[in-house]
Amino acid sequence: MMKGRLAVVQSGGPTPVINASLVGIIHEAQQHDCFDKIYGLIHGIEGGLKREMIDLSSLTARQLQTLANTPAAALRSSRHKISDDDYEIILECCRAHHIHYFACIGGNGSMYVCNRLAEMAQAANYELRVVGVPKTIDNDLLHTDHTPGYGSAARFLALATRDTGLDLRAMATFDDVTILEALGRNAGWLAAATALAVQHDDDAPHLIYVPEVAFDERRFLNDVVAVHERLGYVFVVVGEGLRDAEERMIGQRESNHAEHVDTLGRSIYSLSQGVASYLAELVREQLGLQARTLRPGLIGRAMSAAVSSVDRVEARRVGEAATTYLADGGSGEMITLERISQQPYHCDTGTIELSVVSGGEKMLPREYINNAGNMMTAAFIDYVRPLIGELPPVFRFDADKNHFDG
């Protein structure tokens, strides 16, 4: 058994349960003699470049429990674009600190970094075992049933939609349309999850639009009119990455401002005008209806009060599985979640080669979207419900059936 030190990295956008994965890694590593020490790199991979790290080896059970329930990335994160020279510096850091095990908790970009680091270590004849630990609220990692972080962010959005939908229903004599914009980048998994808020025919959301279906403004306006004529109010959810049939971003086509991008060249939708704002203005101008927008943004990936219990358990489980994988001699793969049964719900952990995962995106299957392209199907509800958990019940009067005669 190779003895050495384990380095752990948290990379990319945080989640409400990312620290549960960190705790899973640490606690499991404390049970194995092959790990001399456990280091946490500060600010992601930049910690390796600057040799900024902390010793996690002696954290107590009580400290780990508190850490597991803490949102955001406790080690702090990074979106640093890594060059080939950077990889060499990181490998030199590993040599200097006798690091022979490397675990990275992250999403698509992080899995690419893991794979490249493993390749360069092998080319340099340096023994470094590398494992990827899945994490992203966007749920767009390939070859895993879902990703830790998604269930909690999805639960937050489902609750936010249900509760603000009830607010709109109460104010329907004044407000006409509310449009909520969900995170998710190019994939509609988070926007789709708001469908779980629907318990009655008139419950919000009434319309959901995801990036997987080309957006048509005229069809959208017709949909809004149809719901408004039926109910007197409309709650709409849109994914932040909506595009039309020509792949143009909705809401940015008329803008003279340059598109905001991060260090990796990816669009930062939260810094743009936003699709919800654009569509609300369209509704006001074309339909003459009062339209409000909701843009929860990063609240959903940081809200510990809305954490899904299943999500937290699975986040810790993939961390534990990653450490066991390294201790057993594994390298070059990402831990996955594999749904074994639906009733009762259960997922096992597995592995997939990092080279297969990195660089791609998992989109919503078409069978999860209705034919009209404006709502989710029962198949999607079956998929997402166990990840989010049941929402707490609410009471409401039926204005047509519950009344008192004078």
The answer to whether 4-148+305-357 and 152-303+364-388 have equal CATH topology is: yes
Residue 76: phi, psi to the nearest 5?
Answer: 70, 155
> How much is the average pLDDT of 84-95?
94
> How much is the average pLDDT of 311-320?
99
Residue 210: pLDDT above 50? yes
Residue 347: pLDDT above 70? yes
Helix residue ranges, H only, 247-395: 275-287, 309-327, 354-357, 378-388
Say how far apart CA 12 and CA 9 lie, in whole Å: 10
Report which secondary-structure segment, H or E, holds 26.
helix 18-29
Name the token pair of 399: 């204005």
**pLDDT reported for residue 253:** 55
> How much is the average pLDDT of 368-396?
96
Cβ atoms within 10 Å of 120's Cβ, excluding its own: 16
Q: Are 74 and 68 in contact (CB under 8 A)?
A: no
- Each domain of the chain, given as residue ranges in start order, spans 4-148+305-357, 152-303+364-388
Helix residue ranges, H only, 38-176: 46-50, 61-68, 84-96, 108-123, 150-170
Q: What is the pTM of this model?
A: 0.93
For 4-148+305-357, CATH number? 3.40.50.450
Check if CATH label 3.60.15.10 holds for domain 152-303+364-388: no
Given pLDDT bands bounded at 50, 70 and 90, which one contains residue 406?
very low
Residue 259: pLDDT above 80? no
Active site residues per annotation:
138
Please give the share of the chain, as a percent, with pLDDT higher than 70: 93
> How much is the average pLDDT of 279-302?
96
